[in-house]
Chain A
Amino acid sequence: MEWYEVFRGIEGEVPAAVVEEEKAERAGLLGRLRRNLGKASGALRGALTTIVLGAAGEDVWEQVEEALIAADVGVDATLEIVDRLEVRAASRGLRTQEDLIAELATAVADELRVDDPDARRIDVTAHPAIILVVGVNGTGKTTTIGKLAWRLTQMGRRPLMVAADTFRAAAAEQLTEWAGRVGCDIVRQASGGDPAAVVYDGLAAAASRGADVVIIDTAGRLHTQVNLMKELEKVRRVIERQVPGAPHETLLVLDATTGQNGLRQAHEFQRAVQVSGVVLTKLDGTAKGGIVVAIHKDLGIPVKLIGVGEQLDDLRPFDPDEFTRALFAVDG
């Protein structure tokens, strides 16, 4: 998927030059992603070679398992994928290493696919479209909002940021700095206030300031903190009441270094505020972010965007094939 396809409600409005630029940018990015994501491939290729040589004992499958585990795919999802691969390898008489790796990549990508392409897109058809951004501490919510708002302005939209993280010291200052970089409006209040009140203000301001997308930053919170999760539910209720049909997107920002706890995070945030998509950040490191496989599989929440750095343009559309190809360093 390309950026000009990411937003539901902007298609057709994007200038041709932007589309061209997109394509060029993408070529460079693929290589970068693959370099970082492809580190599991060594062990994996070794394991698969042995399978091809006909010595597919327990140990070999254990190695394949470990390659998936190393990507944080998780025990349950891994065992299922490996089982399926074993069956397919036998029944289809897959012989070459390339076949097997491709099969494995397909198996993982299949877990991440959505039937309706719109399910992967960010819905900004409404005016204003309301996007609520949630997640645990330090995953990259504020940074993602900066990048997303920038992308929207590139596409001719007028985003408004709402600084509803009233908890963390200097959180509003951080978002304000991003708003400055993007050149968009921001609504904030004094620190320590009620986030729901800031949201209320922000939504009211959207109309008067001519904003067509409102992006709401929230304080990082552990999904186990009952009171803070209740607070978030309240924020959502305020949005629902004030703008019928909103929030149009509720994005869970997940750090790619997160292990199995990511599934619990997704589960709890889903329960509290109905997550519509995941943004997987910090894929520019060596972490693989494989927990999104379990999140999609178990909870049906698609990944929509990935974060690949700390600059304005370091946010990308998510593509399951690209993601798994990079994960296992398969060319093509």
Chain B
Amino acid sequence: MFDSLSDRLQGIVSELRGHGRLSDEDIDRAMREIRLALLEADVNFKVVRDFIAHVKERAKGAEVMESLTPAQQVVKVVHDELAALMGSSDSRLAFASKPPTIILMAGLQGSGKTTACAKLATFLKKDGKQPVLIAADVYRPAAIDQLVTLAGRVEVPVYAPGADVDPVRIARDGVRFAADRGDVAIIDTAGRLHIDEELMGELVRIRDAVKPHNVLLVVDAMTGQDAVNAADEFRQQVELDGVILTKLDGDARGGAALSVRAVTGKPIKFVSNGEKLADFEYFHPDRMASRILGMGDVLTLIEKAEATVDAKQAAAMEEKLRKASFTLDDMLDQLKQVRKMGPLSGILGMLPGVPGMKGLKDAQIDEKQLDRVEALILSMTPEERRHPEIIDGSRRQRIARGSGMKVQDVNGLLKQHREMQKLMKQLSSGRMPKLGFPGMGG
């Protein structure tokens, strides 16, 4: 069920080998696969219909038909169109010429607004701004306590007069409070159903009272087909400026991103992707496109690796990649970097072909497996690590003994190293191969 789209298309195309060019019929079949992939990713079915109609024409163009790798070309066309659709306008916030800049957060219950408020404040603070939080969710029990606690953690001022004050007044007074204490006012509001007339009316009154520079809809990345209904109502009634996509650290394919973008016409500005307050970043349409298509998130992985590896090391690594001299020492380094990046399950999800349940199970073995790889490499001489090709039978036996493992383990490691070397070469040449990682059990 969680086969990647490219695998499925590959299936279609391999049946066609020998027939030469792709026919219109082949394209139609490919489009049906893409339709299913998008539906499985929770893109709204109407959005899918429009999207397929749109890309079909391009897929019938010469770039696909005459390509030697039509399956990949189809995926590329779809991927590019998805990315273009999700990212064709500015994702930055609007800042007021005369502070405070006012940001109003809105969304359904449980979408993650309060957490997003605190994360956005953290993000802006790092950017040199002075955010102030305003607690206008007077309905959910302890929502105010939650925001106040989070404000304490972020170390920003919070305006929280209490649950018995009218939210419109809290927002209005809060903005005044924010003007004295900072330069950005972030207003947390209660979660509400888009069909709840009374609460939607209240949101409109808050908006009219404070005239926010940014109204942001907070959307759970796991949302299914209904995302369009909610987003469309919020758009019509309160007028949105953008979207924050939350809980993206899970393994949802996140088709809601496309749905919401399509019905609101507004950009997704940020994604929230972790338990920590710092897990909040600008939205990257190309990554989202890969994710929706089940192609993994190679770019995020690379970027995360870059952020973890310090700059000098990164430069050295790049140099090695270019020269394709990826030694076992480098592999060991990589391993340590991978560990620094955080729990393997998260990283696994970013790799093409593994964001399935299978990938998760593999993640359980990984840590131990990584220990073993480390032990093996540490039992080699520096010379062996630099020139693995000199590792002959007797050296293999020595390494196995030294690390308390079997010769097969040494063989396995050397094989993985070779694969990784190949992979590194491909990555450095900008292609997107199917990844295998050391210690990931195949």
Do A259 and B256 touch across chains, with their CB atoms under 8 A apart? Answer: yes
The reply on A329 being an interface residue by CB < 8 A is no
Pair A72/B363 contact, Cβ less than 8 Å: no
Chain A residues bordering chain B, tally (CB within 8 A): 51
Task: Name the residue of chain A whose CB is nearest to the CB of B344.
Answer: A226
Residues on A with beta carbons closer than 8 Å to the beta carbon of B170: none
Do A261 and B250 touch (CB < 8 A)?
A: yes
Interface residue B80 (Cβ < 8 Å from any Cβ of A): no
Of the residues A168, A257, A268, contact of B146 by C-beta under 8 Å: A168
B136-144, B236-244, B329-337, B370-378 - interface stretch: B136-144
B226 touches A174 (CB 8 A): no
CB–CB A226/B345 < 8 A: yes
A69 — which chain B residues lie within 8 A by C-beta?
A: 39, 45, 225
Chain A residues whose C-beta falls within 8 Å of the C-beta of B360 in the assembled complex: 224, 268
A317 at the interface (CB under 8 A from B): no
Contact B40 A75 (CB under 8 A): yes
Whole-angstrom distance between the Cβ of A252 and the nearest chain B Cβ: 14
A39 CA to B404 CA, complexed, in Å: 64
Q: Is the CB of A170 within 8 A of B226?
A: no
Q: How far is the CA of A185 from the CA of B255 in the complex (A)?
A: 42
* Smallest beta-carbon distance B351→chain A, Å: 13
Given A285-B108, A286-B194: A258 and B222 interface contact (C-beta under 8 Å): yes
- Would you list which residues of chain B between 206 and 241 have a CB under 8 Å from chain A? 220, 222-227, 229-230
B1 touches A72 (CB 8 A): no
B4 to chain A, nearest CB (A): 15
Q: How many whole Å from B294's CB to the nearest CB in chain A?
A: 12
- Closest B residue to A173 using CB positions: B142
B114's closest neighbor in chain A, by CB?
A169
Of B108, B110, B146, B345, the residue contacting A224 (CB under 8 A) is B345
**Does B346 lie at the interface of the complex (its beta carbon under 8 Å from any beta carbon of A)?**
yes
Q: Which of chain B's residues 299-341 have a Cβ closer than 8 Å to chain A?
A: none
Known interface pairs A76-B1, A174-B141, A222-B247; A258-B223 also in contact (CB < 8 Å): yes
> Which residues between 170 and 209 of chain A lie within 8 Å of chain B, taking CB atoms?
170-171, 173-174, 176-178, 191
Contact A178/B141 with A70-B45, A259-B225 known, Cβ cut-off 8 Å: yes
Contacts of A258 in B (CB 8 A): 220, 222-224
With a CB–CB cut-off of 8 A, which chain B residues contact A138? 109-112, 220, 247
A262 at the interface (CB under 8 A from B): yes
B278 within 8 A of A: no
Q: Are A140 and B110 in contact (CB under 8 A)?
A: yes
Residues of A with C-beta under 8 A to B363? 226
Among B95-149, those with CB < 8 Å from A are: 108-112, 139-143, 145-146, 148-149
Q: Scoring A residues 133 to 175 as 1 if CB is less than 8 Å from chain B, else 0, what string do you get?
A: 0001111100000000000000000000000000111110110
- A310 touches B (CB below 8 Å): yes
Q: How many residues of B contact A (CB 8 A)?
A: 54
Q: Which residues of B contact A265 (CB under 8 A)?
A: 222
Q: Contact: B229 with A169, CB < 8 Å?
A: no
* Residue B343 lies at the interface, judged by CB distance under 8 Å to chain A: yes
Q: Which residues of B contact A286 (CB under 8 A)?
A: 194-195, 226, 229-230
A91 interfacial by beta-carbon distance below 8 Å: no
- Of chain A, the residue at the smallest CB distance from B139 is A310
Evaluate contact between A72 and B364: CB separation under 8 angstroms: no
Chain B's closest residue to A177 (CB) is B141
Known contacts A224-B360, A285-B193: does B45 contact A66 (CB below 8 Å)? yes
Chain A residues with CB under 8 Å of B153's CB are 169
Is B285 in the interface zone, CB < 8 Å from A?
A: no
Please give me the residue from chain A that is nearest to B149 by CB atom. Answer: A169
Residues of the A chain whose Cβ atoms lie less than 8 Å from the Cβ of B253: 260-261
In the bound complex, what is the Cα–Cα distance between A224 and B149 (angstroms)? 26
CB-defined contacts of A121 to chain B, threshold 8 Å: none
- Contacting residues, chain A, for B167 (C-beta < 8 A): none
Q: Which residues of A contact B183 (CB under 8 A)?
A: none
Given contacts A169-B150, A226-B343, contact A260 B109 (CB under 8 A): no
A239-260 vs B, Cβ < 8 Å mask (1 yes, 0 no): 0000000000000000111111
| A113 lies within 8 A of chain B by Cβ | no
Interface presence of B71 (CB below 8 A)? no
* Cβ-defined contact, A225 with B345, below 8 A: yes
Chain B: minimal CB distance from A109 (Å): 20
**Is there an interface contact between A259 and B142, defined as CB atoms closer than 8 Å?**
no
User: Among B1, B111, B146, B195, which residue has its beta carbon within 8 angstroms of that of A170?
Assistant: B146
Q: Are A225 and B343 in contact (CB under 8 A)?
A: yes
The chain A residue sitting closest to B226, CB to CB, is: A287
CB closest chain-B residue, reference A222? B250
Whether B247 pairs with A259 at a CB distance below 8 angstroms is: no
B252 partner residues in chain A, CB cutoff 8 A: 259-261, 264
Judge if B204 is at the interface, Cβ distance under 8 Å: no
The one of A70, A137, A169, A264 that contacts B110, using a Cβ cutoff of 8 Å: A137
Decide yes or no whether B81 CB sits under 8 A from chain A.
no
A-B contacts, 14 of them at CB < 8 A, read: A71-B225, A72-B225, A136-B222, A170-B143, A171-B146, A174-B142, A226-B345, A226-B363, A255-B220, A255-B222, A259-B42, A264-B357, A285-B108, A287-B224
Told that A226-B363, A287-B225 touch, could you supply 8 new A-B pairs with CB distance under 8 A? A69-B45, A70-B44, A170-B146, A174-B146, A176-B142, A259-B256, A268-B357, A284-B193
Chain B positions near chain A (C-beta within 8 angstroms): 1, 36, 39-42, 44-45, 108-112, 139-143, 145-146, 148-150, 153, 193-195, 220, 222-227, 229-230, 247, 249-253, 255-256, 275, 343-346, 349, 357, 360, 363-364
